[in-house]
Structure 1
Amino acid sequence: MTTDDRTTESAMAVLAELDPAPPAHAGAHLSPRAGRLLQDILDSDRDGDDHTTVERAPDGGPTTTEGSDELRTRRRRRAWTVALVGAAAAVLAGALVVLPSLRAGDGDTEAAAWSAIPSAVPADDLADYAPQCGRGANGEAAGNPDGTRTVVAEQRGARVLVAITDRERFMQACMFDANAGTDDPEPFSGLYGSLRGPQSDGPLQSPFSMSGGTPDPDESASVFLALARDDVTAVILHATTGEDVTATVEDGFVIAWIPVFSVDGAFPDSEDEGPFGSGLEATLTYEDGSSERVSPFAPPSE
């Protein structure tokens, strides 16, 4: 068995824990499009010299082993992450899979000045960013050429976050460097997730958080995504690290991100230990002017 085969099997074993149905093939518990994309990405680096191996740790979580310090830095700068919502909508602690980089090239960009309050992305710029983020969602594959659409976007400092989805509720979020311009922009980080988790009457549906790389090897980005009930007009996320982050709420989607910096060269062991982990709380404002503080990842009440 090759390293790539073990990588694929280990990754699938980790992802399978999110869904009780035994998969018949790689990505079988996803929508057909999402499953094919996952397998294509896992296969994309088979002919290269650099590989990322996902091993199972003694506690059952994945442990990522890289080939060298240089490779670790390169993976951190341009990491692409797959996150899946399975039987329960929860933080995907220990269920993130680091995949082969989808971007080539060297060189860092200056660290962005992050802001807790986002700004809107100009429509002309968004028209350039969105197509570059479209490789993960396909309206035609879902039987609707117009099914792929940009649902939410925001800018914090020099970082632009764009999220698109398709009719299967397969979402892709991409982060761009606004200082690089919009002539053939290329995302430095991509995050994939499914919003097909269990639905309820709660104000936030299928919430999840996941991590992506940035051009700075000592910084990653923690991203929160959720569906919002129609009467939710504003969301403030109270990060476990103390920041109050105003999320972007648009067309029934909620999105926000916050930088996570390494401590002595180490990042949190799992997304659950990050600023948008299981202890996250949120203040929601409703269209009638009332507000409520909730815990997005708390188990549903009986």
Structure 2
Amino acid sequence: MKKIEALKSYFEDYLESQTFPDDPEHLYDSMRYILSLGGKRLRPIAVLLVADAFNKLDDNALHAALAVEHFHNFSLIHDDIMDASNLRRGKPTVHKKYDTNTAILSGDGLLIKAYESLNRIEHNKTEILNLFNKTSIEVCEGQQMDMNFESRDDVTIDEYINMIKLKTAVLIGCAFQLGGLVGNVSTENLLRLYQVGMNLGIAFQIMDDYLDAYSTQTGKKIGGDIIQNKKTALYLTALDRASEKQRKELRHWYGADEFDEEKKVQSVLEIFKANKVDQAVHSIAQIYYQEAQKNFDELVIPETGRARIQEFFDLLKNRKF
């Protein structure tokens, strides 16, 4: 069994060994660029952890892990364009460093590369492709919901949870289940693995929203979701808890076409603080972490593998950025 950091290095080495053509230069340079920005590599590590837990850490596992990472970065490039984001992991986004058209193409290229990697897997290929196809369209559905929410003032917390389930959690569920498919686990374990990843993904995204507002270590601008009128768990919880005067102010800020970004973020954060929104949202995330833990405890898995995945859980649960 490899430790988590060793698995990350193992994957990074494999990622760096993959080469792109030299021409067209802008297309492939931009693909290399987004992959070089690093990140937590959460999704490929999940694939490799599960495969390793069932003693199947081989080329098939690496192909599956690479597919998930390529897909994830495709979605990030397009997400940054739609959100008009200037920074990704503390560096210029692809459309800022190059241009929007190149960014669209490089995202498309990474999506195609993801399917190339899946095609190299030697067994359970039909099940793997079906899972990946389902996940891919669900991520697109979630992204569309997220954009729709920006112009609505009646979004509910249930709608928000469904949106992040599709936009974020299904890919983490997919990563866990891909590791199981590579590891030839039982049908029962495959279902449990998906639920583990799904609930972990929901908790992860809720904490991502939390950290967007409160962490200076994310590599992003503080309050980016507030500036973009994202209907996050923080905003929806604040609406539920706030006084009528505070609700009116929140809706004013989230409906304004022109505003001072710093003043908007500061004003909204003050309302969050007054209503202890940070504590409430942190508690919601813990509920989904607990559900993921319950799913995980039901898995039939070798004890050495169980301990390593538990360590992964704990790292995510306690992250600060």
TM-score above 0.5: no
**Larger fraction in helix:** 2
Asked which structure has the greater CA Rg, the reply is 2
